[in-house]
Amino acid sequence: MKKDESKVNNIGARIKDARESLSISQAQLATILGFQSATAISLIESGERGITAPLLQRISEVLKRDIKYFLGQEENFVDVRVALRADKDLSDEDKDAIDRFIELAKQKKNGQ
């Protein structure tokens, strides 16, 4: 097996693991990503179909994993504040309240 093929297979296996850890079916993931059927996901996971960088980025968002996980690198965990700011359904007031709670938790942890 060529080195590039091995990388694709590893990415596919990691996609499958991440998908299964969230209890998302291949059909559900296919629908979210705009594919006609689960076959596309099956082919990606088995390494029979390549994956573009933009699609891998979208998969990482949907499966809530750092893209580095799929590439076999150490993941960077997102600061909760950054993640909350990216959530467009929260009001600014809710985001501020969450920020205040985080600060309170830090102060408690540091014995302040």
Q: List the domains of the chain with CATH numbers.
A: 3-70 (1.10.260.40), 80-109 (no CATH)
* Ramachandran assignment for 50, one of left (phi > 0), alpha (psi -120 to 50 degrees), beta (any other): beta
Distance CA 58, CA 42 (A): 17
Half-sphere exposure of 79 (CA within 13 A, CB side): 6
Distance CA 12, CA 98 (A): 36
Output the tens digit of pLDDT for each of the chain's 112 residues: 444 445 555 899 999 999 999 899 999 999 999 999 999 999 999 999 999 999 999 999 899 888 888 988 876 555 565 566 556 677 778 777 877 887 777 777 666 5
Do the Cβ atoms of 98 and 86 come closer than 8 Å?
A: no
Distance CA 16, CA 97 (A): 36
Do the Cβ atoms of 30 and 49 come closer than 8 Å?
A: no
Distance CA 61, CA 51 (A): 15
Distance CA 13, CA 53 (A): 16
pTM as predicted: 0.61
